Amino acid sequence: MTSIKQDQIQRITDQMVNHTSVFGSVIQIEDEEKTFSYLSASGNLKEDSHYFIASVTKLYVTAMILILKNKGLLALDDSMISFFKKGEVDNLHIYKGVDYTKEITIRHLLSNQTGLRDYFYYEVTGSKAVGDLEKKDVAWTFEKAMNRVKTLKPLFKPGQPKKVNYSDTNFKILGEIIEIVTKMTIDQAFDTYLFKPLKLKTTCVFTHETKIEIAPLYFKKLNLNIPNYMASIGAEGGIVSTASEVMIFLKAFFSGFYFPKDEISQLTQNYRMIFIPGQFYFGLGIEKLWIPRFMSFKYPIKNLIGFWGQTGAFAFYDLDTKVYFAGTINQASGFGHGKALMGIIKFIKLYRKEKKH
């Protein structure tokens, strides 16, 4: 148990909104045994608001791949090209005149070690590309994305030591592989293997048929209305959920519900530092936050793992305190991520101080 009060959590949540471009926040915090559970919202978000979890979706992809692996339907070291018809992904990775496409494995895709460039961020990177979405809300089909990638020079050979490049291309391909192996669309596969087993009631992959009311997503002060784009990125960032249902998934992910718990150690080995779109470590389908010592000098935070989303969505587990965090600040410009991170850090410091006494 903890003596931390709900009003203390509310203050942390309110402080996450304290920026001219961050209009709302929601956060759920629970420990491993659920001896405490805090749910708090501020600004224009409510405790039960549905929001785009963006790249937090990639954690769901990681769970799907491990489920299929444990069912014997694929192996992490399978060649990517073995799942596709001839011509679908040919000549995807030509580096210094050599075609390395056949050498790309599922492991390389999950760990962002393919060397393939991002099909979406090929012209501009980071928040500017997101800001341009409103002007060109177009769908990125698998074929369109692969055709674009074939025109882009890879950054390095697949699996090259110490090399990593965060790329939605990798998860676009993983999503296609999931559809091929399961013989389902990505929304059907997620629903069958991930959502229904946990009895998630309103979590879904966004499509044009989605009827759930979704909280406004902002880029700075612009309310982004991008249904065509969001409906085309199911595996890269298309899940809609609530903080409470992301929490249910997050705890299931780390507790052994979907795959043996000891496989987490495989995901958290061989971290590589990524500097774009932010500074963090990437393992096998999972992120670890890099938190400078000065941000929590007395209580160093070294093992906060999970995933960020471009929308300011987050799903993290602190291995040291055994505390889980899920929520969003619904700001895609990058301004809000720091506010969300500070909220998480403030709670960890408060919790560790309280436990010490």
At residue 103 the predicted structure's pLDDT band, cuts being 50, 70 and 90, is very high
Identity at 28, one-letter amino acid code: Q
* 220 vs 190, higher pLDDT: 190
**The pLDDT value given to residue 122:** 57
Paired residues of 318 in beta bridges = 304, 323
pLDDT at 334 over 90: no
Q: CA-CA distance, 221 to 342, in Å (whole number)?
A: 21
Closest CA to 31 of 352, 285, 353, 357: 352
**The pLDDT value given to residue 129:** 58
**The pLDDT value given to residue 299:** 85
Mean pLDDT of 83-96: 94
Question: CA distances (Å), 118 to each of 49, 165, 201, in order?
Answer: 30, 9, 33
- The sign one gets for the Cα dihedral 103, 109, 110, 115 is positive
pLDDT at 18 over 90: no
Out of 37-46, 174-183, 191-200, 214-223, which region has the weakest mean confidence (pLDDT)? Answer: 214-223
pLDDT at 269 over 60: yes
Whether pTM exceeds 0.85: yes
Classify burial at 250, counting beta carbons within 10 Å of its beta carbon; exposed 0-12, middle 13-18, buried 19 or more: buried
* 63 vs 338, higher pLDDT: 63
| Per-residue tokens: 115 | 């060397």
At residue 1 the predicted structure's pLDDT band, cuts being 50, 70 and 90, is low
Q: Are the C-beta atoms of 93 and 155 separated by less than 8 Å? A: no
pLDDT at 125 over 70: no
At residue 298 the predicted structure's pLDDT band, cuts being 50, 70 and 90, is confident
- The sign one gets for the Cα dihedral 95, 101, 103, 109 is positive
pLDDT at 135 over 90: no
DSSP class of residue 193 equals I
pLDDT at 347 over 90: yes
Q: Look up tokens 């879904």; give the residue.
A: 204
Please report which residue ranges of 76-185 form alpha helices under DSSP H. Answer: 106-110, 126-131, 142-149, 168-182
pLDDT at 28 over 60: yes
pLDDT tens for each residue of 29-77: 999 999 999 999 999 999 999 999 999 999 999 999 999 999 999 999 9
**The pLDDT value given to residue 357:** 60
Q: Are the C-beta atoms of 341 and 287 separated by less than 8 Å? A: no
Mean pLDDT of 338-356: 91
CB atoms near residue 308 (< 10 Å): 22
Q: CA-CA distance, 288 to 189, in Å (whole number)?
A: 27
| Per-residue tokens: 18 | 């304290």
**How much of the chain exceeds pLDDT 70, in percent?**
96
Identity at 15, one-letter amino acid code: Q
At residue 277 the predicted structure's pLDDT band, cuts being 50, 70 and 90, is confident
**How much of the chain exceeds pLDDT 90, in percent?**
83
Helix axis angle for 168-182 and 57-70, nearest 10°, is 40
Q: β-strands 37-43, 217-219: how paired?
A: unpaired
Instruction: Give the domains, in start order, of the chain with CATH numbers.
Output: 6-56+204-356 (3.40.710.10), 59-187 (3.40.710.10)
**The pLDDT value given to residue 6:** 95
pLDDT at 128 over 90: no
* 132 vs 297, higher pLDDT: 297
Classify burial at 347, counting beta carbons within 10 Å of its beta carbon; exposed 0-12, middle 13-18, buried 19 or more: buried
pLDDT at 342 over 60: yes
